[in-house]
Protein backbone atom coordinates (compact mmCIF):
# COMPACT_ATOMS: atom_id res chain seq x y z
CA UNK A 1 0.00 0.00 0.00
CA UNK A 2 2.75 2.33 -0.87
CA UNK A 3 1.73 5.90 -1.60
CA UNK A 4 -1.81 5.52 -0.30
CA UNK A 5 -3.42 7.17 2.66
CA UNK A 6 -4.72 4.49 4.99
CA UNK A 7 -6.14 6.63 7.78
CA UNK A 8 -9.22 8.74 7.40
CA UNK A 9 -8.55 12.41 7.99
CA UNK A 10 -11.00 15.26 8.35
CA UNK A 11 -12.35 14.69 4.84
CA UNK A 12 -13.24 11.07 5.60
CA UNK A 13 -15.62 11.88 8.43
CA UNK A 14 -19.33 11.54 7.89
CA UNK A 15 -21.97 14.24 8.32
CA UNK A 16 -23.01 12.93 11.74
CA UNK A 17 -19.46 13.18 13.06
CA UNK A 18 -19.10 16.70 11.72
CA UNK A 19 -22.42 17.75 13.28
CA UNK A 20 -21.29 16.44 16.67
CA UNK A 21 -17.97 18.30 16.46
CA UNK A 22 -18.08 21.34 18.79
CA UNK A 23 -14.78 22.84 17.64
CA UNK A 24 -15.33 26.43 16.55
CA UNK A 25 -18.83 26.67 18.05
CA UNK A 26 -17.83 29.48 20.40
CA UNK A 27 -16.51 31.53 17.47
CA UNK A 28 -19.82 31.14 15.65
CA UNK A 29 -21.77 32.08 18.77
CA UNK A 30 -19.59 35.15 19.25
CA UNK A 31 -20.11 36.16 15.63
CA UNK A 32 -23.87 35.98 16.16
CA UNK A 33 -23.94 37.87 19.47
CA UNK A 34 -21.22 40.50 18.93
CA UNK A 35 -23.11 42.76 16.48
CA UNK A 36 -26.07 42.98 18.86
CA UNK A 37 -23.83 43.90 21.77
CA UNK A 38 -21.97 46.51 19.72
CA UNK A 39 -25.25 48.10 18.62
CA UNK A 40 -26.48 48.13 22.21
CA UNK A 41 -23.31 49.83 23.43
CA UNK A 42 -23.40 52.40 20.64
CA UNK A 43 -27.04 53.13 21.44
CA UNK A 44 -26.20 53.70 25.10
CA UNK A 45 -23.35 56.02 24.09
CA UNK A 46 -25.56 57.96 21.69
CA UNK A 47 -28.29 58.33 24.31
CA UNK A 48 -25.82 59.57 26.92
CA UNK A 49 -24.47 62.18 24.48
CA UNK A 50 -28.03 63.28 23.74
CA UNK A 51 -28.79 63.64 27.44
CA UNK A 52 -25.58 65.62 28.01
CA UNK A 53 -26.52 67.99 25.18
CA UNK A 54 -30.02 68.41 26.62
CA UNK A 55 -28.65 69.28 30.07
CA UNK A 56 -26.19 71.73 28.53
CA UNK A 57 -28.94 73.47 26.56
CA UNK A 58 -31.35 73.61 29.49
CA UNK A 59 -28.69 75.18 31.75
CA UNK A 60 -27.59 77.76 29.17
**What single-letter DSSP state applies at residue 10?**
G
CA–CA–CA angle 23, 24, 25 (5° rounding): 95
CA–CA–CA angle 19, 21, 27 (5° rounding): 105
pLDDT > 90? residue 22: no
6-19 pLDDT, tens digit each: 566 656 677 777 67
pLDDT > 80? residue 51: yes
Query: How much is the pTM?
Result: 0.59
**What single-letter DSSP state applies at residue 23?**
T
What residue spans define the domains of the chain? 35-60
Q: Nearest to residue 23, comparing CAs of 38, 35, 8, 13?
A: 13
Distance from C-alpha of 32 to C-alpha of 13, rounded to nearest angstrom: 27
Amino acid sequence: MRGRVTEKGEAGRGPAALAADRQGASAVEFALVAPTLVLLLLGILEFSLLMAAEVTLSNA
